[in-house]
Chain A
Amino acid sequence: MDHVNNDTTEQVKVTVLFFAKSRELVEQRSAQILLGKRLTGRDLIANILNNFPSLAVIEENLLIAVNQSYIEKDSEINFEGGEEVAVIPPISGG
């Protein structure tokens, strides 16, 4: 987890939304956090877990969406600030 905070890099503010089990674990629907401008999906998850340690129990199974698109762990995201990041636990619609 040591690579989580990109120390000196510039940071931007994003909104994080929580749904279902993740909402219950963090006991809030949304929050604002600071993120490095350039992150992989994997780094983003690590960063969120760092900010919200109670999510650790579902870390294996959660997926992240940025501006309503699913993010793969290996893909790189460039944040400008103001993005909507969503924590998506396993879905169960239908």
Chain B
Amino acid sequence: MKKESIKAKTPSLHMADDTIVITPDLLHVDHVAEIVGAPSAGAISLFVGTTRDNFEGKTVVRLEYEAYMPMARSEMRKICKQVREKWEVMKIAIFHRIGVVPIGEASVIIAVSSAHRKNSLEAVQYCIDTLKATVPIWKKEVYEQGEPNWKENSECFWTKKGGPSKQSTV
């Protein structure tokens, strides 16, 4: 009986513990880490993706991100749900910046807390790998010289590189 009542409570608690933000504002690692903090957590694992200043020898002057907002959010929510099916984690926060992101700043920050480090470490890796494969966000690199370029993630699930039949569209 006791076990069941705890189980029944879990889903709603977990829903409230997922934070998804897509914003043109500067991302702060401290802020995202704070969101997933919990007294019973023994670990907070973080991934910070930052914008690089070069691509194949070309100097990148800035990056521009755009998102299909409602769908990007719903795909991120799916990732949180999948994480909770695979690992015991406490809180998940996924922040993605859009608009112009100057070189060296964070374009994405993912934080996951858990009682023990293994779960949150694996969950963070899963979050960023899946985000790159399924979340409709695009990045344009603008170079010092030459035409700007829309990038393609190697993880993108429907391009030839990604192997369209290997991954589901879930």
Residues of A within 8 A of B (CB): 17, 19-21, 60-61, 63, 65, 68-72, 86, 88-94
Across the interface, do B74 and A91 meet the contact criterion of CB distance under 8 Å? no
Q: Please, which residue of chain B has its CB at the minimum distance from the CB of A90?
A: B152
- Which residues of B in the span 127-170 have a Cβ within 8 Å of any Cβ on A? 128, 131-140, 150-153, 156, 158-160, 169
What are 7 contact pairs spanning A and B, CB under 8 A? Answer: A65-B136, A71-B169, A90-B153, A90-B159, A91-B132, A91-B135, A93-B139
Report how far A26 CA is from B108 CA in the complex, Å.
29
Select one of B128, B150, B153 contacting A21, CB under 8 A: B150
Contact flag A20-B108 (CB < 8 Å), given A86-B71, A91-B137, A93-B132 = no
Across the interface, do B140 and A93 meet the contact criterion of CB distance under 8 Å? no
With a CB–CB cut-off of 8 A, which chain A residues contact B88? none
With a CB–CB cut-off of 8 A, which chain B residues contact A86? 68, 71, 136
Asked if B91 is at the interface (CB within 8 A of a chain A CB), the reply is no
CB within 8 Å: A-B pair count: 82
Q: Please, which residue of chain A has its CB at the minimum distance from the CB of B22?
A: A93
Counting chain B CB atoms within 10 Å of each CB, which of A69, A92, A93 scores highest?
Answer: A93
Q: How far is the CB of A7 from chain B (nearest CB, A)?
A: 30
Report how far A69 CA is from B135 CA in the complex, Å.
11
> 12 extra interchain contacts, Cβ-Cβ under 8 A, other than A21-B138, A65-B71?
A21-B150, A65-B136, A70-B169, A91-B135, A91-B138, A92-B137, A92-B139, A92-B150, A92-B152, A93-B108, A93-B137, A93-B153
Across the interface, do B150 and A94 meet the contact criterion of CB distance under 8 Å? no
Across the interface, do A88 and B108 meet the contact criterion of CB distance under 8 Å? no
Contact flag A63-B158 (CB < 8 Å), given A92-B138, A93-B135 = yes
| Contact mask for chain B residues 5-17; partner A; CB cutoff 8 A; 1 contact, 0 none | 0000000000000
Q: Please, which residue of chain B has its CB at the minimum distance from the CB of A71?
A: B169
Contact flag A91-B70 (CB < 8 Å), given A20-B140, A70-B169, A72-B169 = no
Across the interface, do B138 and A20 meet the contact criterion of CB distance under 8 Å? yes
Q: How far is the CB of A79 from chain B (nearest CB, A)?
A: 18
Across the interface, do B131 and A89 meet the contact criterion of CB distance under 8 Å? no
Q: How far is the CB of B164 from chain A (nearest CB, A)?
A: 9
Q: Please, which residue of chain B has its CB at the minimum distance from the CB of A73?
A: B164
Contact flag A93-B96 (CB < 8 Å), given A20-B138, A20-B140 = yes
Across the interface, do A90 and B156 meet the contact criterion of CB distance under 8 Å? yes
